[in-house]
Amino acid sequence: MTPETLALVERAEALAKAASEGPWRFDGHPDGNIESNGGWTVCFQVCSGALDARDSGEDNGAFVAFARTAVPELCKLLREAEEATDKALADLAQHVADLGDSEDLIGCDGNEMLGTVNEAIQTFRDNRKFDASAEGAGG
């Protein structure tokens, strides 16, 4: 994750942690209120489109209420994806290192070596797809 992305995720997580517990609900009126899970009103008519005729207060309210739950979940998913990517790259590096010790590469020219490495990468990808589907099935 880049430092900028990490800073954005950390800020979003801190704001979400400090805010009233979600999910939030929008009452559906263009100048309406947003309520927390506990029934507390967290926004009073702040979603009104009165300041900008192009905005829809109803759409703004729905977005703010949705974002209360979505932002922390998206931060979590981004961190999980980053961890999975790091692990996959480490696994791939090890696989290529193991391949480098293989007799399959002895006497290869550059194109043959590239082809062998590409086959190894494809095998690695196929194995990762299998691992991911097994994890999704509860394995």
**In the numeric block, which tokens belong to residue 42?**
């967290």
Q: Which residue has the tokens 């009103």?
A: 41
| pLDDT per position as a tens digit, 126-139 | 776 555 444 444 43
Query: Domain limits of the chain?
Result: 3-85, 102-139
pLDDT > 70 fraction of the chain, expressed in percent and rounded? 66
What's the pLDDT at 71?
92
CB of 32 closer than 8 Å to CB of 45: yes
**In the numeric block, which tokens belong to residue 109?**
């020219």
Distance CA 29, CA 48 (A): 9
| pLDDT per position as a tens digit, 2-45 | 888 889 999 999 988 888 888 888 877 766 778 887 777 777 66
